[in-house]
Structure 1
């Protein structure tokens, strides 16, 4: 996840990061058995230098 750099830096970037951190913490706390359903080496990322991420994240619990 990216929010740009320099003059084009997103003003809401910090808020989005805090919200994401909180959402992940709550999810992991509510689903303590949550784990990756595939080996880490099988995860594939997409994107370039500024925007990249996982098109899917298989999980199991």
Structure 2
């Protein structure tokens, strides 16, 4: 996963189901991630990278 040197200056609030929050916490704990916020940042980055990779593969097949 790519690490960004950009400062974390933007804040937002979102709501999720309790089960989703528990899954995020479990994912972060299993990877020894110290904060829920960092776990969410990493999951978002993984999602973006995965989606971009899938889009590139689909474009290459067309």
Q: Would you tell me which structure has more helix in proportion to its own residues?
A: 2
Q: Would you tell me which structure has more strand in proportion to its own residues?
A: 1
Provide the TM-score with structure 2 as the length reference.
0.40
Provide the TM-score with structure 1 as the length reference.
0.40
